[in-house]
Amino acid sequence: MNFPAKLLALVVVVLLFGCSDVTIQSSHVPSVTVESFQQVPEVDGIDIVWLVDRSCSMLTEDDVTAIAYGVDAMMEALPLDVGWRLSITSTDSESTLNDDFFPLLPGDDANDALDMLDMVDPRGGEEGFSALQVYMEDMPGRYSQDDWMRRDAALLVVMVSDEDEQSPFLPVPEFANWFRSQRDLAHYVAVTVPDLSTCTQSQGYQTGDRYIEAAGLLQGTVVDYCGSGWDVAVADVATTALEPIERYELKKDPIESTLEIVVNHVQWGGLWEYAPDTNEVLFIDVPPPGAFVAIGYIAVGE
């Protein structure tokens, strides 16, 4: 089916003004699928917060060592010129209020991360969502929002727990909406248990359903706490969090001739190509920081 490219682009511009991914159906035009994303914005550095479950099941030497080396792997992966800062706190809201230490900086290592982790109050609360809100909003003038965290920086949050999230009276969608509002660029990582079958010692473990649900809503990352090498996985997240989007995988198979790209509601004049083997749009000319990018097409069979 041939559909005039200019008309398809017009449909995308007119009907997708700020909307999320949709399929547009009309008696006058074929069914048009529109997918969208926001390009990574420009930021001044990256603020990283690890919230760690310090309940009894997470206080073994193996757990503490794994977390310290996970933090170290992330610090090693971040370029020195990124201007990153990293702090470790607890998934216990009351414990979080007692934290008063300055974050780790470029040059710090696993021993420094272990020292900071040892200073985190080992209380048993497992309400990671509420603890993050307390840390960022309710700290009474100590080393949090008004001291080391920067509004113009990116935000990377890593929550680590072998049990599910337990914040009272805080639905996951409400937390996700709050999280999105904190920064122009905010990325969420849940190091949790997606499946008990991956754990060799499952006593006391729970699947982190709420942590995983939040990752889905926030387009975040889930890392298997019981899996091997999760320190590498969180390090990879740190290196990709600030990278611009250069390729986008489509959800449906498009009729290639109908593909159109709209950037900031204007038909994109930059170079791009479609890779059928991976069903991806590859941006040779990368859309500018913070741009709203829409990809419109007619799917095969529609």
> Taking residues 41-68, what's their average pLDDT?
79
Q: Give the pLDDT band (50/70/90) at residue 24.
A: very low
- Shared-domain flag, residues 136 and 173: yes
CATH of the domain at 58: 3.40.50.410
* Among candidate residues 198, 216, 240, the one where a domain is terminated: 240
275 and 218 inside one domain: no
Helix intervals (H) in 53-183: 61-77, 93-97, 110-119, 128-133, 172-180
Reported as a single tens digit per residue, the pLDDT across 62-71 is 777 778 878 8
Instruction: Provide, rounded to the nearest whole percent, the portion of the chain with pLDDT above 90.
Output: 25
Is 302 among the domain residues? no
**Residues near 112 by beta carbon (within 8 Å), at least 6 away in sequence:** 104
How far apart, in whole angstroms, are the C-alpha atoms of residue 22 and residue 195?
32
> Does 201 lie in the same domain as 271?
no
Task: State percent of the chain over pLDDT 70.
Answer: 83
Domain extent, residue 179, equals 46-240
At what angle are helices 209-217 and 172-180 packed, to 10 degrees?
40
Residue 3 has pLDDT above 60, yes or no: no
* Same-domain check for residues 234 and 275: no
Please name the helix (run of DSSP H) or strand (run of DSSP E) that holds residue 239, with its range, or none: helix 230-240
61-77 and 110-119 helices cross at what angle (nearest 10)?
130
Residue where a domain terminates, one of 218, 240, 262: 240
Same domain, 275 and 142: no
Provide the token pair at 27.
Answer: 């008696």
- DSSP readout, 253-285? -B-GGG-EEEETTEE--S-EEEETTTTEEEESS
Residues 108 and 206 in one domain: yes
Residue 225 lies in a domain: yes
Residues in the chain: 302
Total number of domains in the chain: 2
One domain, residues 33 and 50: no
Would the pLDDT of 156 be above 50? yes
Domain ends where: 225, 240, 255? 240
pLDDT digits (tens, 9 = 90+) for 256-299: 988 989 898 888 899 999 999 999 999 999 999 889 898 988 88
Residue 149 inside a domain? The answer is: yes
Number of Cβ atoms within 10 Å of the Cβ of 278: 11
